[in-house]
Chains A and B, each alone.
Chain A
């Protein structure tokens, strides 16, 4: 059997969902028998080297780079999965939604209680830096998403079962208790 090719990324996320992927524990050996990882922090491949079957997206889109990466994933993956609450509904980063960006930046770089040494009151604006979006967008509001695996993080069992079912082309057999929003 050909191995399914999987790519993963973390956009505006905390890598908790990736940790949860690793939480499948020894089953990772089983997984490696059926999937081959491409672009992913797991194997540190930075760019797509081939078209993938499945893309796992952690985190929503908070800046221009996230959007580019997400679109790149959409172009290169047959199936795109939003992994975790941030990818699905913005999550913790989306708590800034509704607050003007200027205010957010000033809080972060100028007036906030943790700001110590920014006497020149510089708000980073180097052209190399990604530009913030007006709000944090859930992934499906930017590109079409095929599946959602909720949770903060999604339970390892959920990721495992869903991934194996997709790879093997089987019906997903997901028990009630693995789908949780927290």
Chain B
């Protein structure tokens, strides 16, 4: 939409303030920033205050009030990126570009920025440049890229490597990203013809569809694990004429990338799952909430939707059945991990700050635009289609008694075969490490930063809701890794960066705890500090959402399972000491007055 003005963008969204996210994204794409003047224009056009525009705009990482450069580089700063050599890449960028991260070159050509996990953990170091993803970067490659930028090349011409496997090479995707599907299971297998399930369910009542899903005992695959069938049933029963199906493709948990692969390869399956959910709960509108990091998939996904509409699998009279109506549109996020929480996702889709809501009411009663809303993970919706094809009994024959079916895992870190694996629930960590060829393993992070850091003595624990529940992220750390400095600190900083800031607990405490962790890392810790950290972690349980409630997990879980790493950093001190270091405290004054610290 080159050359669009703020006015045309506003018109495109019918001056609807609930579409503020789309408006800001279009404006940002168009102008590379959203200036005060633009904010004023938008506020006027939407009949809201400038402060209202500002509060949404300033919430999201990918919006900027100042120009971010003709080429905007977002380099991933997740744990695995660092493990795979991010520091060298960052240095190469800074040297070649001539500015630091967080800055834009004086001529406005290139901007360098850090960003939280972009879902490429199996092909790090990776960066997003003008909405295109560049993976497995090397200092050499960085120099080439910067040379191309300085020469003014089109971003799509900057690929030198051949495009990735599967649909990554599709002309509408055209990306160097790779799927790395290492183990296919029922979800990833291609065995459903488009429309097949729609034909099947339209011969059933919505209640029968819900019953089949309920009988399968499938639980939400995003991580929280709420029974899917029950969610659909609640929504179906909730009074309300208009209902909505959201597919949560915000996939922000560091180390998770399986939804990216499903979106790339199984989009038809996913949309059929959404349509089926729509049929079951009585919704006519589906919204795919897609993280901005996956914007490179936009054209392809929109094409799949359009073709499905043409083929009669979406739109009016779906599958030839009268009054079966379902539409899907894509709603982009703009860089906010917390929007993976379902009520925050809904807030965001309404054009607001992605702050989780207080519950009750739950989204199934009052969700998007106050209407009953189902929010399901990408994988959940795909699994639901397979359940409809093969039946709940078949599904229950997979996995364990408490955790039925399969789970698609995103595995990265220190192993020979990082990638996507679909396994039955019930695998132990040892099974996983055998499968991916992990080596010299010191620890495994199960379920991303909000999950648990597992030590070798617990590698016989199993993946499943009864033991280690996970949204699918597994990160492996070998013995060369400094767990506290490289992992725990990074994860804690991630939570600090991604807190919405609404709850006092989650806004303040992770910062306080991080400071204490740094104090221990600097050799200034006292025994009391470790106990304090464990104790303080409990306070976060009073936060509204899962992000806040789990923000201390990296610290508390590593203290519980790797306490020796902490105690080894403590210095023996008098029991009244706090770790206060006089030499450190006078350093600044000594420098300012040219004095020697004779304390």
Q: CB < 8 Å: which of A64, A74, A105, A127 contacts B592? A: A105
Inter-chain CA distance A33–B588, complex, in Å, is 47
Closest to B588 in A: A134
Inter-chain CA distance A125–B589, complex, in Å, is 10
Binds B, one of A24-32, A43-51, A139-147: A139-147
Contacts A67-B582, A101-B588 given; does A131 touch B576 at CB 8 Å: no
Cβ B586 vs Cβ A131 within 8 A: yes
B587 touches A (CB below 8 Å): yes
Cβ B580 vs Cβ A131 within 8 A: no
Cβ A64 vs Cβ B586 within 8 A: yes
Inter-chain CA distance A86–B590, complex, in Å, is 24
Cβ B578 vs Cβ A143 within 8 A: yes
Inter-chain CA distance A101–B590, complex, in Å, is 10
Cβ B585 vs Cβ A137 within 8 A: yes
B593 touches A (CB below 8 Å): yes
Closest to B577 in A: A143
Instruction: Report chain B residues within 8 Å CB of A123.
Output: 592-593
B307 touches A (CB below 8 Å): no
Closest to A105 in B: B592
Closest to B592 in A: A102
B595 touches A (CB below 8 Å): yes
Instruction: Report chain A residues within 8 Å CB of B588.
Output: 100-101, 134
B598 touches A (CB below 8 Å): yes
Cβ A137 vs Cβ B592 within 8 A: no
B546-599 at interface with A (beta carbon < 8 Å):
575-578, 580, 582, 584-590, 592-599
Contacts A64-B599, A131-B597, A131-B599 given; does A142 touch B580 at CB 8 Å: yes
Cβ A125 vs Cβ B582 within 8 A: no
Cβ A101 vs Cβ B589 within 8 A: yes
Output the least CB separation between B527 and chain A (Å).
Answer: 12
Cβ A141 vs Cβ B578 within 8 A: yes
Instruction: Report chain A residues within 8 Å CB of B596.
Output: 127
Inter-chain CA distance A68–B586, complex, in Å, is 13
Cβ A134 vs Cβ B589 within 8 A: yes
Cβ B578 vs Cβ A133 within 8 A: no
Instruction: Kindly supply a per-residue 1/0 record for chain A positions 68-87, scoring 1 wherever the CB is within 8 Å of any chain B CB and 0 otherwise.
Output: 10000010000000000000
Instruction: Kindly supply a per-residue 1/0 record for chain A positions 117-149, scoring 1 wherever the CB is within 8 Å of any chain B CB and 0 otherwise.
Output: 000000111010001111101001111100000
Instruction: Report chain B residues within 8 Å CB of A64.
Output: 582, 585-586, 599
Output the least CB separation between B589 and chain A (Å).
Answer: 4
Output the least CB separation between A68 and chain B (Å).
Answer: 8
Closest to B583 in A: A64
Inter-chain CA distance A124–B594, complex, in Å, is 10
Contacts A101-B592, A125-B593, A125-B595 given; does A133 touch B576 at CB 8 Å: no
* Total B residues in contact with A, Cβ cutoff 8 Å: 21
Output the least CB separation between B127 and chain A (Å).
Answer: 34
Instruction: Report chain B residues within 8 Å CB of A141.
Output: 578, 580
Cβ B589 vs Cβ A127 within 8 A: no
Inter-chain CA distance A105–B577, complex, in Å, is 30
Output the least CB separation between A43 and chain B (Å).
Answer: 26
Inter-chain CA distance A134–B590, complex, in Å, is 10
Instruction: Report chain A residues within 8 Å CB of B599.
Output: 64, 67-68, 131
Inter-chain CA distance A134–B587, complex, in Å, is 7
Inter-chain CA distance A172–B591, complex, in Å, is 47
Cβ A137 vs Cβ B580 within 8 A: yes
Output the least CB separation between A64 and chain B (Å).
Answer: 5
Closest to A102 in B: B592
Inter-chain CA distance A141–B595, complex, in Å, is 25
Closest to A133 in B: B585
Instruction: Report chain B residues within 8 Å CB of A100.
Output: 588, 592
Contacts A64-B599, A125-B594, A125-B595 given; does A131 touch B589 at CB 8 Å: yes
Instruction: Report chain B residues within 8 Å CB of A67.
Output: 580, 582, 585, 599
Cβ B576 vs Cβ A132 within 8 A: no
Closest to B593 in A: A125
Inter-chain CA distance A131–B597, complex, in Å, is 8
Inter-chain CA distance A64–B585, complex, in Å, is 9
Output the least CB separation between A72 and chain B (Å).
Answer: 12
Inter-chain CA distance A68–B587, complex, in Å, is 16
Inter-chain CA distance A132–B597, complex, in Å, is 11
Inter-chain CA distance A105–B599, complex, in Å, is 20
Instruction: Report chain B residues within 8 Å CB of A137.
Output: 580, 585
Cβ B578 vs Cβ A131 within 8 A: no
Instruction: Report chain B residues within 8 Å CB of A124.
Output: 593
Cβ A132 vs Cβ B578 within 8 A: no
Instruction: Report chain A residues within 8 Å CB of B578.
Output: 140-144
Output the least CB separation between B237 and chain A (Å).
Answer: 51
Closest to B576 in A: A144
Cβ B577 vs Cβ A132 within 8 A: no
Instruction: Report chain A residues within 8 Å CB of B598.
Output: 127
Instruction: Report chain B residues within 8 Å CB of A101.
Output: 588-589, 592
Cβ A133 vs Cβ B595 within 8 A: no
Closest to A123 in B: B593
Closest to A65 in B: B599
Inter-chain CA distance A100–B589, complex, in Å, is 9
Instruction: Report chain B residues within 8 Å CB of A134.
Output: 584-589
Inter-chain CA distance A134–B586, complex, in Å, is 6
Inter-chain CA distance A102–B588, complex, in Å, is 8
Inter-chain CA distance A172–B295, complex, in Å, is 64
Inter-chain CA distance A127–B590, complex, in Å, is 11
A102, A132, A143: residue with the most chain B Cβ atoms closer than 10 Å: A132
12 A-B pairs besides A67-B599, A134-B588, A143-B576 with CB distance below 8 A are A64-B599, A67-B580, A100-B588, A124-B593, A125-B594, A131-B586, A131-B597, A132-B586, A134-B585, A134-B587, A142-B578, A144-B577
Interface residues of A (CB under 8 A from B): 64, 67-68, 74, 100-102, 105, 123-125, 127, 131-135, 137, 140-144
Q: Which 6 A-B pairs have the closest CB atoms?
A: A132-B589, A144-B576, A125-B593, A102-B592, A131-B586, A133-B585
30 CB < 8 A contacts A-B:
A64-B582, A67-B580, A67-B582, A67-B585, A74-B576, A100-B588, A101-B589, A102-B592, A105-B592, A124-B593, A125-B593, A127-B595, A127-B596, A127-B598, A131-B589, A131-B590, A131-B597, A131-B599, A132-B589, A133-B582, A133-B586, A134-B584, A134-B587, A134-B588, A135-B585, A137-B580, A142-B580, A143-B576, A143-B578, A144-B575
